[in-house]
Amino acid sequence: MHASPDDHLTIGEVIRRTGVSASALHFYERKGLIYAERNGCDQRIFARHMIRRISLIIMAKRLGIPLSDVAKVFATLPFDHAPTHADWQRVSRAWKKELEERRRAIENLENELTGCIGCGCLSMKACLLLNPDDTLQGRGPGPVRLQEFSDSRSRRTRG
Ligand code: FES
């Protein structure tokens, strides 16, 4: 018999194929990232196509992408059958936007690492000019200059 995306696998089979623990699978299920059905013996079974979701979750985690972002891009995928090529294209477009924002934030961090980020440390020469006496603390907590720069860039790209 040929394997099909709509086959159903036991949790043990999914664990073996993905390397993900049972507790992690439960967690992803609770977060709505994957879906399990019940068989006649009330055991949780997963459609084989869920393996692709699980694999993408693993990769996203490795890249430091929060599960909430993954949930956002998975939100439009069907649970009851294997997603089509068009479904994955939609996800890919949404994900690309998230990844571009992340890449820009990393670039900002790289560029600003030698300058004043407005964090209140006053330890760089540039702080004298850009944050004298930590005046930027009036604009809120955290590395104010870095945050404002990153916020304005993402507003521009969204708008
Ligand atoms: S780098 Fe921290 S206040 Fe300038």
DSSP for 22-39?
HHHHHHHHHTTSS--EE-
Atom of ligand 1 nearest to the CA of 115: 1
- CB distance 127 to ligand 1 below 6 Å: yes
Ligand 1 centre distance from Cα of residue 152 (Å) = 19
At residue 4, the pLDDT reads 84
Q: What is the CATH number of domain 1-83?
A: 1.10.1660.10
At residue 141, the pLDDT reads 93
DSSP class of 137: G
**CA–CA separation, 152 and 80 (whole Å):** 40
Ranges in the chain annotated CATH 1.10.1660.10: 1-83
**CA–CA separation, 17 and 30 (whole Å):** 21
| Backbone torsion region of residue 133, taken as left when φ is above 0, otherwise alpha when ψ lies between -120 and 50, otherwise beta | left
At residue 153, the pLDDT reads 61
At residue 150, the pLDDT reads 67
Ligand 1 centre distance from Cα of residue 110 (Å) = 15
Give the residues of the chain that fall short of pLDDT 70: 1, 150, 152-159
What's this model's pTM, rounded to 2 decimal places?
0.72
